Every structure is written in structure tokens, then in C-alpha cells.
Structure 1
Amino acid sequence: MALTLLILRLIICILVSPLYLLSFLGVWSWICKKCFPYFLVRFSVMYNKQMASKKRELFSNLQEFVGPSGKLSLLEVGCGTGTNFKFYPPGCMVTCVDPNPNLEKFLIKSIAENRHLQFERFVVAVGENMHQVADGSMDAVVCTLVLCSVENQEQILREVCRVLRPGGAFYFMEHVAAERSTWNYFWQQVLDPAWYLFFDGCNLTRESWKAVERAGFSRVKLQHLQAPLTWELVRPHIYGYAVK
């Protein structure tokens, strides 16, 4: 089995080697930054439709973390096109962070469609370095389908802890590696090199729950599920929240 996996991965790597060359030259990343937002718009509609009940469940207790100001200050890291906005409670003050500046026009559209929110600002930055966001300034931080593609999970979670006030909460919903004994995990390993290129740095085989569990939160409520998605490869999910 290990040899079969190695051979199949090698074939995949050979097939996508021109794209790796373009990536090395910086051309592919430029193309992805320009084109990926248009994919996200379509994908997010499908994902929200299939995951709406789980998202409502996930964000159902956000109001419990309202800070001393009386309003919920929320930071969404890797905000994409703003598809989580409709699940946030009325009056929520939202700050968005994403490394792709081309997403701003899609965010503006989402803001216009979600007048129940108070939009604060859009910060162009990677989650591993959010120095524009002050220490302890957020009641809640949200990541959905983000930990799969960040460069350093431990660093982004340190940043999450830094910007959260004591008693604030980190909410997450992420696709993760399948159980290692399954065929799904086998094919995740085979296709991961191509998936990474086509889906803007996304990894199929990350065990992100381990990073969350060792990030130093005082309390973690984490669940595994098989998401009702069309693509088998990304059905394994985790979701929940962790309190600083």
C-alpha cells in the first residue's frame, strides 16, 4: 500500500509539475489571488447551503461572549467573501482579516446584504501576523476553512489568543484529515499535491484538531463530523469553540 501511495503521488506531482514551476516563479500565486475569489463565491453558496444547520449550531451562543462594551466585537480570520456574516447576531461589530486584497469588493457586497452587522474594517494580512489588531481587543475570533491553508497553525492560534480578551472565544469549522485506516485518507494523501495548487494552498491531510487542543485555551469544545458535502475528500470536519 505504501508503495502504491508513493507511485500515485509521484504521478500526480509529475502531472502538475508545470504549475509548481509557475508557483516557484510567483506566477501561479498571482493567478490564484485574482481568480480564487470568483471560485469562492460559487463554492461558498454551495457550502453554506449544505452546512447551514451546523453553522447555526456553531454560532448559536456567540452572544454569551459579549464584552463589557455591550456589543460583540468579532474578528473573522480568512474572511473570504463574507459568507459567515448572515450567521452572526444583530449588532455584532465585525473586523475582517484576509491576505487577498481582491476579496474586498466581494466583502462590500456581503456587508450590503447584512445590514444587521456593524462592519469595522478589512485588514489585508496573514493570520500569522495580525499586528494591526490590538491585544485583547476581541470578544470572539472566527476561522472557517482557514486552518487547512495557513503556513503555520501554531502561530495563527497564538495570534488568536493574543487578540482575544480573557474569557473570549475562538470559533472554528475546518475540514481535516480522514481516519488513517480509511480509503478516503489514502486518496487525500494521493491528491494533496495537486489539491494544494488548485485550491490556493489548501491541505487535505491536516489534523487541525491537534493544533487547537494544544493551543493553550482554558476550555475546548470540539466535535468531529462527516459533513454532508458533495466532495468525499473534504467531508471529515471538526467544529466547535475554545475559550481563552
Structure 2
Amino acid sequence: MALVRFVLRSVVEILVLPVTILQYIGMWDPLYKRFFPHVMSRVTVTLNKKMGKVKKELFDKLPDFASSSGLTILEVGCGTGANFHFYPWGCKVTCVDPNPNFEGFLRQSDTENKHVKLETFIQASGEDMHQVASGSIDVVVCTLVLCSVRNIDLVLKEIIRVLRPGGAFFFIEHVVAEKTGWLNFFQHVLQPAWRYFGDGCSLTKDTGTNLEKAKFSELNLKYTTERLAFNLIHDHIVGYGVK
């Protein structure tokens, strides 16, 4: 089975070779980063319908971590602002995303969600959020983001840095399927193409392991299932970690 997977994966790598070349010469990312936000503005409508119950149940806990001056949220990989609808009234949100082309969609989401105040948009990766002061944030949020970062452990380290003592990191992330199943097989086979058309997304990350190793004083994590993205994504982790 391992040999078959290797052969099929190699075929996929050959099929996406033109994109690999475009990536190598620096032409793919600029084009894709302009196009991707338009796709996500449509896709997130469907995602919110499918994951809405999970998001509501999780984000209903956000006010528990508010400071005396109100709730401050830092959303890493904010995209189009799809989570704004689920945030509590009066919260102040700072958004971080490496793709500047999301900002226009983000401002539109802010306009449509009057109960949320968008403080600022920061163009940065989750691995380096030096613009955000240490210990300044009540809650950090990531939803379907850690699958696409280059270094999960470094992102988690930055998240813990910016959180105030007692603050919390809320997450909803998809993870690799069980090793013994066919879904795991196809996730590995298709990954060479998926990374290009999924904005760097990896179908094969086991993000729960990284969270368990991170230095949270308390970690509340559970597994759930929801089929997304042509049924290639099935298993998710949901919860929050307290600094």
C-alpha cells in the first residue's frame, strides 16, 4: 500500500509541475493571493452553515475571558472575517493575515456585523506577530488556519506570548484522518496539489499533538467530524487552551 501511495503521489507531483515551476520563479503566489480571497468570500458562507453550530457553541465561551475593560480578540488568519458573526457584542478585534488582499473583504464583514469593532488589520504571518504587544490580548482565535502555517509550534509560541495571563486560545482545526483508512491514503496522495490550491493547506497535519505539547496551563480539546472540501477533510479538533 505504501508503494502504491508513493507512485500515485508522484503522478500528482508531475501533474502539478507547471504550478511548481511558477511557484519557484515567484509568479504563483502573487496571482493566487489576489484570486483566493474572492473564492473564500463564497466558500465561507458554506463553511459557516456546516460549522455554525460548532462555532456558536465554542465562541459562546469567549465572554468568560473578558477583561474588566471588555473583550479583546486577536484573530490569526482572519480571512474574510467569517467568524465576526459569532463574536459577542462589544468585543474589539485585531486581525492578522499574511494576505493583504483580504482586507477589503474584512472591512465589509465589519460593516455587516455592527456588534463587533474591528480595531486594525495587520499584514503578518502567525509565526511573527511582533506588532502585537506581549500580554495584551484576552483571546486569540484560529479557525482552519494552522493547517496552512509553516511552523505550528512557532505560531503557538507567538499566541501564548500575546495572551495576557489567564487569557485563552480558541481553535477549530482540521487534522489528518486515521492512518488505517482510505481517507488518509488519498490525503497523502493529493497533498502535492492541495497545497497549491488550498493556500498552503496541509491535509496531513496532526495539529492536536502540537497543542498538547504547547505550554498552556489548561487545554480543553475534543474531536468532531464534518465533511468539507470534496470530503477530503473530515476530522477536526475544537476547543481552547488557557495561558
Same structural fold, with TM-score higher than 0.5 when normalized by the shorter chain: yes
The corresponding residue for 1:237 is 236
Change (3 A) 1:19 1:96: same
SS in 1 for 2:157: helix
Separation of aligned partners in 2, 1:171 and 1:18:
38
Separation of aligned partners in 2, 1:7 and 1:230:
24
Are 2:19 and 1:16 equivalent residues in the alignment? no
Change (3 A) 1:10 1:228: closer
Partner letter of residue 164 of structure 2? R
The corresponding residue for 1:62 is 62
The corresponding residue for 2:169 is 170
Separation of aligned partners in 1, 2:14 and 2:227:
32
- Unaligned 5+ segments in structure 2 are none
CA contact (8 A) 2:227 2:233 kept: no
Are 2:80 and 1:77 equivalent residues in the alignment? no
* Offset of residue 199 of structure 1: 1.1
The corresponding residue for 2:123 is 124
Partner letter of residue 16 of structure 2? V
Separation of aligned partners in 2, 1:182 and 1:234:
13
SS in 2 for 1:26: coil
Structure 1 runs (4+) deviating above 3 angstroms are none
The corresponding residue for 1:137 is 136
Separation of aligned partners in 2, 1:198 and 1:74:
29
- Unaligned 5+ segments in structure 1 are none
**After superposition, what is the alpha-carbon deviation per residue over 1:97-130, rounded to whole angstroms, capped at 9, x for unaligned?**
0001111110110000001012110000001000
Change (3 A) 1:194 1:2: same
SS in 1 for 2:33: helix
* Offset of residue 230 of structure 1: 5.9
CA contact (8 A) 1:142 1:170 kept: yes
The corresponding residue for 1:100 is 99
Are 2:148 and 1:149 equivalent residues in the alignment? yes
Are 2:114 and 1:115 equivalent residues in the alignment? yes
Separation of aligned partners in 1, 2:224 and 2:137:
28
The corresponding residue for 1:215 is 214
Q: RMSD in angstroms over aligned alpha carbons?
A: 0.8
SS in 2 for 1:173: strand
* Offset of residue 228 of structure 1: 4.5
CA contact (8 A) 2:169 2:240 kept: yes
The corresponding residue for 2:88 is 89
The corresponding residue for 2:50 is 50
Separation of aligned partners in 1, 2:68 and 2:60:
20
CA contact (8 A) 1:138 1:168 kept: yes
CA contact (8 A) 1:51 1:228 kept: no
* Offset of residue 231 of structure 1: 2.6
Identity %: 52
**After superposition, what is the alpha-carbon deviation per residue over 1:59-87, rounded to whole angstroms, capped at 9, x for unaligned?**
11110000132x00000000000000010
Separation of aligned partners in 1, 2:227 and 2:178:
17
TM-score (norm 1): 0.98
**After superposition, what is the alpha-carbon deviation per residue over 1:145-183, rounded to whole angstroms, capped at 9, x for unaligned?**
110000100000000000000000000001110011111
Number of matched pairs: 243
